[in-house]
Structure 1
């Protein structure tokens, strides 16, 4: 039986059309996968008319309800069984799908996923991980990006283990370089939780990762580290700052190159370089955040993603299914259980 990915077809700013177009693009990359398209059947079938190949590889599950972009997680949970997001997650829980992808409300997706799928044994809290572009060839894995506004030392160690497992799947690293996000690189800097987590990671030399201490937010794009770990509050703030800086640079260049005839000529001369920059900074090329630590694969696509961005998110889900993410994290935890401190037992 082909592995199957459940798509919440109703999520995102553009809705069904873009979700279906993205799934169709992803199918070309992963022809061995089939799809469960969850949402309004009439609208899904209309969108599929332009994608006969995807139609042949898909099943439609009709669901009327949709989780609103401004809906509180508690409200979404109460009506999970009647929404496209809730049913896409339920398909993973029941085994009808190997992974779920949604562009909908992040808080609702996290809450529903945690309740339905639970966490992997040995993981206290799931974390939201995403890829950030760097100056090097490979992207940076960063977590947590908003699932947990607070995290203690044990949580941070768990995040490091999960992020390293994700990095190994993506890039084949034996021992990914891991750092903790902090306000400075000195050992005495940061909160007690950060210092305790750093001490625990430094002692655990047998972990399948290479812990290299602290890093600051202005170093995220340098490519000097493979995984950066943070609590969800700090991580989300850093992510938004990086995204804002990328938009600022692209908007500034666009304005500068259109300011005069000479600037427009300069743009034509430098176009290959500016196109490379635009491609590198385009969030659609790095789309697909993963809820690591759940007993099932759930990928969050950015709400404003275009078809290419949705395709990248679906491709992330397919890659994690193919490389058995859950098993890889479980293996790491079983090997290093003694290295992860219990609450209140970190020095």
Structure 2
């Protein structure tokens, strides 16, 4: 397995990326890592150079760069070179914590989409309360607008991922909607419902509401990119807000509150761990000819290592080639 890593992407690059690679190397010594970026900066954090290749470049894509222009103009950027390595076949997957829009553009324009996939979707595994299972949701923002046919493709993509990567034998697929009744929703939702219900390749369970997502009613949830991104940001914001409110309540409740918090410390730590979706890995731009994975820009070494574990599972399961056979075999 060969993973092309944009070592200069992210808020804490290259330190977080390289330290994460070092953690992952202990678990997966067979992986070959290609680190793209400033060699001198990368070497500061290397503790083991076995199966490590550094491809030096001084150019990188910044967070404020316009994505498509950056991909087209910065030909020597670390992200672009890593994507080109995947396209050329010298790497099997692309991994970055950098500019999300630029990574989407690099995936689409350099790595390329699977024939038959009209709009690749951005997918993450999000937490479910009370279990380690989680659920996969897409599209989370790769596309501002979608057609019903796209949502059907997302259901198939998500089902393949849940089966092969998360080892769920028969993933339950839900359509995010403003009600559980079949008649609910706008034209996109109603037409998508018909397509999903008629497709025998997936286990469609009907509409799911946003309030049901964290209960784990579905293993795969599909929606358009605009709605998916808004829901994702709402979940993130609510989780952060609740933790802040809890901390404020403890600090303002005097000695009793602080003693209570001390007694609940382990439980609160478990809650925080359970709601941390970074442990499931990064966001996958799914529907491309190879895995293209984005971890959070503020990711530290442990989140980077978790994403590499996710990439390892994707490559070991050969899920992308299965999707190629599925969609290109239909043509």
Q: Fold match, TM over 0.5?
A: yes
Whole-angstrom distance in 2 between the partners of 1:8 and 1:247? 28
Quote the Cα distance in structure 2 between the aligned partners of 1:99 and 1:306. Answer: 20
Verify the 8 A CA contact 2:121 2:287 in the aligned structure 1: yes
Using the alignment, how far apart are the partners of 1:14 and 1:281 within structure 2? 22
Query: What is the CA deviation profile of residues 236-256 of structure 1, one whole-angstrom value per residue up to 9, with x for unaligned ones?
Result: 000000011111122222222
Structure 1 residue 120: deviation in Å? 0.8
1:263 paired residue number? 257
Where 2:165 maps in the other structure, the secondary structure is helix
Q: Could you tell me how far 1:310 is from its partner in structure 2?
A: 1.1
Match status 1:22 vs 2:20: yes
Please report the TM-score for the alignment, with normalisation by the length of structure 1.
0.91
Match of 1:184 among 179, 188, 193: 179
Measured against aligned partners, the alpha-carbon deviations of 1:302-321 in whole angstroms (never above 9, x if no partner) come to 00111111111122111111
Q: What TM-score, normalized by structure 2, do the two folds share?
A: 0.96
Given that 1:144 and 1:235 are in contact with CA atoms closer than 8 Å, whether structure 2 keeps it comes out as: yes
Match of 1:141 in 2: 136
Task: Give the match for residue 224 of structure 1.
Answer: 217
Partner of 1:37: 35
Q: Which runs of 4+ in 1 moved over 4 A?
A: none
1:57 aligns with 2:51: yes
1:345 is matched with none
Query: Among residues 6, 29, 34, which one is paired with 1:8 in the alignment?
Result: 6
Mapped to 1, the partners of 2:264 and 2:45 lie a distance apart of 39
Answer whether contact 1:284 1:306 (CA < 8 A) is retained: no
The aligned counterpart of 1:321 is 315
Distance 1:90 1:4 in 2: 13
Return the alpha-carbon distance in structure 1 between the equivalents of residues 166 and 33 of structure 2.
26
- Tell me the secondary structure at the aligned position of residue 47 of structure 1: coil
**1:105-184 equivalence runs, <5 A:** 105-135=99-129, 136-184=131-179
Q: Of 302, 307, 324, which residue of structure 2 is paired with 1:308?
A: 302
Deviates more, 1:123-132 or 1:182-191: 182-191
Partner of 1:281: 275
The SS at the match of 1:174 is coil
CA contact (8 A) 2:281 2:308 kept: no
Q: Aligned partners of 1:73 and 1:144: how far apart in 2? A: 19
- What number of residue pairs does the alignment pair up? 329
Shift of 1:173: 2.1
Distance 1:123 1:173 in 2: 23
Report deviation, 1:334: 5.8
Q: CA deviation at 1:287?
A: 3.6
Tell me how large the CA RMSD over aligned residues is. 1.5
Runs of 5+ consecutive residues of structure 1 not aligned to the other structure: 339-347
Q: Give SS of 1:82's match.
A: coil
Aligned to 1:342: none
Name the residue aligned to 2:191.
196
Superimposed CA distance per residue, residues 63-121 of structure 1 (whole angstroms, 9 cap, x where no aligned partner): 11111101111221222421001111111111111111100111111011101122112
Give the Cα separation in 2 of the matches to 1:275 and 1:215.
29
